[in-house]
Structure 1
């Protein structure tokens, strides 16, 4: 019944907004990933071959994402300017894919640091770009 009420034009807008916000859901999963994984990485049963991580290393895992956030915001601006919002939004999938690959294949804490910086790049770009994209495709009414 809800979809019958909405015209085809609005359905397309709704679908585009949902698709654009999928990167936000992926980013949320990445941010929340640290809550269950840090206690595991600090335990004697750590999956890292290098052994359990220290409290300082766990702190860095949580904080290096901010460096990537600043970088992501600065990197997405020229991509948006020269190639458009759609290409810039699609380009955010690249660091996000690399970060999950690093987390899956990494065997020490430095891979996790690099993945978290890439997560920040994705987040910084996403927070700058998704609202612009949604405002651009939304009906003025």
Structure 2
């Protein structure tokens, strides 16, 4: 995620500050690699087929539109077959009466508990059991690496 993203944002809105996460998954032999960069956005969440959930916490970049001179780090993480990657808006985990860690931990626990579901049911479970207070948008994008 680089400077053109910031310039595009300034061209399409009068409020040119937003968070984002850009990610791609590539084959790597018999496994997969997730490449991502964040601009002030929550990190991706991964869940293994046996239900181990973890956030891919890494150096975040500043939100889009804040300062084009500051770099946004790129990251990579190997993924085993059957791993689910979840990208989501902060509206899924933010609650005015609780620290953000509370919502993030609750989302990870819900994801781990439902790891074996087909993706559409998995996303529905995350949306139905979200820990937020509903004051913000809620979006979930999940994909599972092929076995």
Q: TM-score, normalised by structure 1?
A: 0.28
Larger radius of gyration: 1
More helix by share: 1
Kindly indicate which of the two structures has a greater share of residues assigned to strand. Answer: 2
TM-score by length of 2: 0.27
